[in-house]
Amino acid sequence: MEPRRLNKFISDSGYCSRREADKLIEQGRVTVNGKQPEVGTKVTTRDKVRVDGNLLEVDAVEPVYLLLNKPPGIETTTDTSQKDNIISFTNYPERIFPVGRLDKDSEGLIILTNNGDIVNKILRAGNNHEKEYIVTVDKPINQNFVERMSNGVPILGVNTRKCFVEQLGATKFRIILTQGMNRQIRRMCEALGYEVQTLQRTRIMHLSLAKIPLGQWRNMTDAEVAEMMRLVERSSKTAEEPSVKKASSGVAPSKPKSSKPRSSSSTSRPGKQSSSPRSGKSTAASKPGKSKSSGSARGARGAAKSGSSAGRGRTSSGKGGRRR
Residue 258: DSSP 8-state: G
Cβ neighbours of residue 87 under 8 Å, at least 6 residues apart?
77, 78, 80, 96, 97
Q: Is the separation of the CB atoms in 88 and 320 below 8 Å?
A: yes
Q: Looking at the chain, how many residues does it have?
A: 324
Is 47 known to be catalytic? no
Active-site residue identified among 47, 103, 105, 222: 103
Strands 65-70 and 164-167: unpaired
Distance CA 215, CA 223 (A): 23
Nearest Cα to Cα of residue 158 among 25, 247, 85: 247
Distance CA 69, CA 193 (A): 29
- HEC per residue, 81-134: CCCCEHHHHHCCCCCCEECCCCCCCCEEEEEEECCHHHHHHHHCHHHCCCEEEE
CA 85 → CA 122, 150, 193, distances in Å?
A: 22, 33, 31
Cβ neighbours of residue 104 under 8 Å, at least 6 residues apart?
72, 73, 74, 75, 76, 84
CA 185 → CA 21, 162, 240, 245, 298, distances in Å?
A: 29, 13, 17, 20, 33
Distance CA 112, CA 209 (A): 14
Element (H, E) at 49: strand 49-51
Q: Is the separation of the CB atoms in 188 and 173 below 8 Å?
A: no
Tell me the catalytic residues. 103
